[in-house]
Structure 1
Amino acid sequence: MKKTLLQRVRDVVLADLYSALETQEKKNPIALLNQYLRDGVKEVETIEKLVDRHRMLQKNFMHELEQARYMAAKRAKQASIANQAGEVTLAERAEQESVYYQDQVVRLEKMHATTAEQVEDLQLRLEEMKNKLKEMHAKRMELMARENVANAQRRINDTLYKISGQSSFLRFEEIEEQIRQIEKQVVSEAEQDGFDYKIAQLEKRLQQSV
């Protein structure tokens, strides 16, 4: 059975998408999805133009059908008038053309019906493709969310590893020891200053008592 245009597009664009996602999602899922979305949007735009063109053909068939019906009825009436007037030649010509237009009516009715079915089928498949594109947009957002979480978790893990690493603890111990030495120095200086002050006061009192 020969595939329609949209069936081929669906096979190439949609089925290939999901198979590619299964094998390449780990490599660069967002970039892959973006590419398929761009391709899908272009295909939808092209198919919409084809559907519009087919819908125009349907209208043209209807116009031709109405014209053929009108001419078939018109020639049949003219044949009747010519027969009543005894104009055999005119009557025969009118009858022949009436038969011709009646055949055209039958042919155009079939063509119009077929085109109408095709337009309906194409429109349904076009809507199906648009829905698939919506699913792809949702899939992209899902993958973007997963990618963001994965990147955040990786950075958190890396940071925690650096913070909790042995070198970090050693560095903190060095800094703590430096601060402890400064604190001792400050206390020692404060005690020394206090001792010197007391001796100076004693010396002053001794001098005053002499």
Structure 2
Amino acid sequence: MSEKPTTVAFDADDTLWQNEQFFKLTQERFAELLKDFAAPGDLEARLLEAERRNLGHYGFGIKGFVLSMIETALDVTEERVPAPVVRELITAGQEMLRHPIHLLPHAREAVEALARSHRILLITKGDLLDQERKLAQSGLGELFDGVEIVSDKTQATYESIFARHAEGAAAAVMVGNSLRSDVLPALAAGAWGVYVPHDLTWAYEQGEAPGSHARFREIADLGLLPGLIQSF
């Protein structure tokens, strides 16, 4: 297999465009609505616990987030959450699903530059309709040679995708803001993993950077990515 990468795959949320900031704003609204029932720190911890517990039921994305907020509201109020609060949580979720896309700095330039020299993929997880909406609004869709919207990102996920869309994982690079989902399983599959930190990465997606791994790289922003890829 080629040692020089021929395929570059991008994560979407908080790698190419803003996402977590809208979850944070809604979570602040959630805390304000339930301030008479739970302290913000406790509420945040209980919501995260509910989200983790519900991933197997709802998967990743806004819909599961809203259902987890409603479940947490029921728990902290001992089933006494006012109906208007539930209505406002549903409305907040609908607003998130309508929010316009804001590309992150250098996202378009990086994808355009690499599309001239490499096969370009988008590998994202979450709700199918929402991810398709965001991709369409981003204006980047025509630049990708393949788009994969998956339920989760594991070593097997990357092995399968890179076998179908690339010359195997050894000739592929995965770029993203999540160590847990974008970098570590891609490295385990045999690909390169490029970590691009985002200030608001969800706690679930955090992990320990494998600094000594020969195929791990970290860059401050996507503006540095084309040069990094060309150096491999």
- Same fold by TM-score, threshold 0.5 exceeded? no
TM bracket (short chain): under 0.3
* TM-score, length-scaled by structure 2: 0.23
Higher helix content, 1 or 2: 1
* TM-score, length-scaled by structure 1: 0.25
Q: Relative contact order (C-alpha < 8 Å, sep 6+): which is higher?
A: 2
